[in-house]
Chains A and B, each alone.
Chain A
Amino acid sequence: MLCATPPSAAPSEATALIAKLARPVPASTAYTEVRFVHLLRKPLVLQGQLDYNGPGQLGKRVEAPYRETTTIAAGAVEVTRAERPPKRFDLDRAPELKALLTGFSALLGGDAATLQQFYTMEFVENAPNWTLTLLPRAADSGSHLRALVVAGAGVEPRCFTLQQADGDSSTMLLGALSEATLPQPPTPAAVAALCARP
């Protein structure tokens, strides 16, 4: 599966950019996540902290509006909520999280080759802003995840957006942008505009 599709050449600008995005481990950043779920009348807005501890290891802490800690290590996910026993499940059962993890690990590791293995890349630059769209190569992991969009400016990634096949999506606003006032009502387009702000 891994080597079935020969990776197509990525745009050289993308490769150059990814190399610049590399961060030392551990990396940690505040985030605001906006989730558009078709079962809900309005999007979920969550705030917290992302901790990247090296390839395959990610911690995601929700601090508001409730507290929840997700840790990923060795292919297993553990979700802990206050006063409830932790839930554990396999990373494969949460493709969204897996995509995020793979994308994150490769981006923070400056590893364009790994990204090319799993995704085809589209790179759009509008200096200093840029958008890197990652489309999953493998059909099975693409069943839920349609695209992973990273938006940034200069060497800073600002937004991580996961687009699901069923039309749902979620965007994580990272670093300084996590403090930004969200457009009201927050729509996918409005959030995208926030990420593309000069």
Chain B
Amino acid sequence: MTNARRYALIALWWLALAACAFVLQQRLVISGDLREFMPPPTNAEQKLLLDAIGEGPASRLLLLAIGDAPPAQVARLSDSLARALRTDAHFERVLNGGGDLAALDPALLPYRYVLSPTLDEHAFDAATLRDELQQRVQDLGSPAAEMLKDLLPRDPTLETLKLAQRWLPRRAPALRDGVWFSPHDEALLLVQTRAGGFDPQAQAQAIAALQTAFAALPDGGSAQLSISGPGYIGVQVGAQTRREAERLSVFGSAGFIVLLLLAYRSGGVLALVALPLLSGALAGVAAIAFAFGSMHGITLAFGFTLLGVAQEYPLRVFSHRRVGTDARTSVREVWPLLRLAIVSACIAYLAFLVSGVAGLQQLAVFTISGLLVAGAATRWLLPALLSASFRDVAESTWLEKLRAIIDGVRRPRWLPWALLLLALAWLQMAPAPLWQNDLAALTPASPALLAREGELRAALGAPDVRYLLVIEAPSADGVLAAAERITPQVDKWIAAHAVDDVELPSRYLPSAATQRARQTKLPEHAALVAALDTALADTDFLPGLFTPFLDDVEAARRLPVLTPEQFAGSPFGARLQAMLLPRAGRWLGLATLSGVHDAAAIRLDAGSDAHLLDLKAASEELVAAYRTRILVALGAALVLLGLSVALAFRNWRRAWAVLAPMSLATLLAFAVLRAGGISLSLFHLVALTLAAGLGLHYALFFERPVADAAEARRTLHATLVCVGSALLVFGLLATSALPVLRAIGLTVALGVLFHFFLSIQMARPRQDS
């Protein structure tokens, strides 16, 4: 093949990959929803948790502060921003302290008598009305007169204001210039997004919409908008992790290029070396897009990590080329081993397919199709594109010296057993808990971000993200009734300072039974007229002034029960809707808690339809359950791998020579991590698996009987390049300050080292045997 034609074909391959990537990028939905990554829930608590993770009202709150400008201007910006966001579909609730007088939809005004608890304790008799009217006279003499004058004829008992008060957060921040203010002269806003709090993409969109809206305000540039909240922190941490990973992979790639140039003294390999892996990755993504439609971001990251073994395929081909033999023949010689590695890995990953966990099944589909395509590309496409002129690596003199040194290394038979004992001892002494179940601990937010969040959350009295009171009932109205039943208990917790506030759905809408009970307490028209006349006799109010009041009470007596659907149009309707969720024929009520001081004291009486959900504990349980499944799947995969290697060799001794160093190295890496005080997470497990896949290659190639010393040098060269590049890329990750990157980097780097040295020790055929 001419060089020109070769270059054209390489370019064509790159172009085809780019085109595939472009198409796939538009087809595959990368989901940030944690539920797609988690195993299917096994009990009610977990089902609820998965709903709560996505729907939890507290996790959807963004906490905003506008500062760095004179208070009057900051207050105006708060108002303009709230107005802008209320018409934005990204948000379902915007609170800034202002506008609370219009808490009830004007069309629903007569309903105030069934929504407000006033009638539970008072009756609209002459005595109550007299007391109320006398207070109203005093109100007219007070500074509040101007606020109340328009309201009085229709609402002399001020039910509208009572409702507004009831519907405001109980520990609202101080008001200044009509909006909430922090003690540091910042206007505070509370914004609830429509998107789930742990859906980073949707949160990022909402945050972008928020920032755009603020920047578009006339004075927006003159003040500073700061955002916090779980969604914001998630987006920030995700972006930081991505930036760090990209930064390190730039260094890693640069180092890899240098390594390749040193190893092969040819620029041509650079254009080729990435092609099999990229082809495999795209094939994996395509398979997912075809089979599942969407994929969780974490699954994708795991998949790319596991597929890292495919990077070795072209390196093996490059190193094993021989002078006087064309590329195809060279490939054919190493292919049986590569094929064995690929096929046994694919068979092992089949275990993931039957795990019953969508995330693991996706991982299996991705990895298997990726490995197959990368392998096929290496076997059938790559050789055709290799340059005819190359340097046989076996000619290096330093390699021969190194080979002699390695051959001279003593290989005591007791060493593996001693290492095994050492590993077991380390595992026994490990200081930290075995597992890290808190996924958030792997991607921690900076202390500054968390401190800001805590500060704003406290200032706003915003709900806690960890706890949720969950009420379950056959109907939405049943949830409201159950919420009313636990209200006395909730009041006790608040009185005992176990919690500052619990926002029950019944705060916004009473149950149908309560509404009807209040309706029956509303006096008949004639009785109310008589009571009002008696009460008015002692005041100076104009006669006939309260006709709108009489009309509203009469209307309220005849109103049909207000349902959540009808209430939905009200300013607080969306709030209620977010708290009432239909699920599997039943209804859930989610009540948020603010300022939890003593979670242990928040106990519900036996037999109530509610329970306190600790999202952190429950999600850790879920992660633990997921990990158990991964461990079982990995165990099954290991057995399958052993069987397929043994079957391929049809020789237990040779299979043992390959599998023993691989297993011991994995155990050693695991033991060193544990001895170093590291608790393991899913990321460590995936990293150990990748290292084991690489170790399988080292052992397979070292175990291979070779015809001459030159071929042994080529094997050593290939393995050194592979080990070097893995150490380079993952060693860089291990230097990261971000726990998730460090977990993957450190584990793979350690694993690769152990696999390399143990393969040298245990896999190579002994001269004496």
Q: Which residues of A contact B (CB under 8 A)?
A: 1-2, 33, 35, 37-42, 44, 46, 60, 62, 66, 68, 70, 74-77, 79, 81, 87, 89-90, 92-97, 144, 164, 166, 168
Contact = CB atoms under 8 A, between A and B. Distances in A.
A132 to B, nearest CB: 22
A164 to B, nearest CB: 7
A41 B137 CA distance: 11
13 contacts: A39-B152, A39-B542, A39-B545, A41-B542, A68-B138, A68-B141, A70-B142, A76-B175, A79-B144, A89-B144, A89-B175, A90-B177, A96-B143
Contacts of A33: 141
B176 interface: yes
Given A44-B137, A92-B178, A77 B542 contact: no
B496 interface: no
B540 interface: yes
A93 B140 contact: no
A168 B44 CA distance: 62
B140 A76 contact: no
A77 B153 CA distance: 25
Given A62-B141, A68-B138, A76 B146 contact: no
B97 to A, nearest CB: 8
Nearest to A79: B142
A35 B138 CA distance: 11
Contacts of B149: 37, 39, 166, 168
B174 A40 contact: no
Contacts of B144: 77, 79, 87, 89, 93-94
B140 A37 contact: yes
Contacts of A68: 138, 141-142
B146 A164 contact: yes
A95 B142 contact: no
B541 A41 contact: yes
A76 B177 contact: no
B143 A77 contact: yes
B69 interface: no
B555 interface: no
B145 interface: yes
Contacts of B145: 35, 37, 96
A68 to B, nearest CB: 6
Interface residues on B, range: 20 to 34
Contacts of B177: 75, 90, 92
Contacts of B152: 39
Nearest to B152: A39
A168 B145 CA distance: 11
A34 to B, nearest CB: 10
A79 B541 CA distance: 22
Contacts of A35: 140-141, 145
A42 B540 contact: yes
A97 B145 CA distance: 10
B147 interface: yes
Given A40-B541, A41-B542, A93 B176 contact: no
A97 B142 CA distance: 9
A39 B153 contact: yes
Contacts of B176: 74-76, 90
B143 to A, nearest CB: 4
A2 B76 CA distance: 13
Interface string B117-147: 0000000000000000001011011111111
A42 B147 CA distance: 20
Contact of B143 (A1, A37, A40, A94): A94
Contact of B141 (A1, A2, A46): A46
Contacts of B545: 39
Nearest to B150: A166
A76 B180 CA distance: 12
Given A76-B175, A90-B176, A44 B141 contact: yes
B143 A79 contact: yes
A115 B649 CA distance: 99
Given A70-B142, A81-B135, 13 more contacts: A35-B140, A35-B145, A37-B140, A38-B542, A39-B542, A40-B541, A44-B140, A77-B143, A79-B142, A89-B147, A93-B144, A97-B143, A166-B149
B542 A90 contact: no
Nearest to A95: B146
Contacts of A89: 144, 147, 175
B541 A66 contact: no
A53 to B, nearest CB: 16
B151 to A, nearest CB: 11
B379 to A, nearest CB: 76
A39 B541 contact: yes
Contacts of B72: 1-2
A35 B137 CA distance: 11
Closest 5 CB pairs of A and B: A97-B143, A90-B175, A92-B178, A94-B143, A40-B540
Contacts of B178: 90, 92-93
A187 to B, nearest CB: 15
Nearest to B179: A90
Nearest to A60: B143
Contacts of B147: 89, 93-94
B715 to A, nearest CB: 80
Interface in B172-210: 174-178
B346 to A, nearest CB: 68
A107 B433 CA distance: 72
Interface in B541-585: 541-542, 545
A42 to B, nearest CB: 5
A92 B145 CA distance: 13
A108 B358 CA distance: 75
A70 B137 contact: no
B175 A40 contact: no
Contacts of A74: 176
Contact of A76 (B137, B141, B174, B542): B174
Given A90-B175, A94-B147, A39 B140 contact: yes
Contacts of B143: 60, 70, 77, 79, 94, 96-97
| Residue from the set B142, B144, B152 with the largest chain A CB neighbour count within 10 Å | B142
A93 B176 CA distance: 10
A144 to B, nearest CB: 5
A39 B153 CA distance: 8
A31 B450 CA distance: 53
A129 B142 CA distance: 29
A2 B542 CA distance: 40
A40 B147 CA distance: 16
Nearest to B149: A39
B166 to A, nearest CB: 15
Contacts of B174: 76
A63 B465 CA distance: 49
Contact of A94 (B138, B141, B146): B146
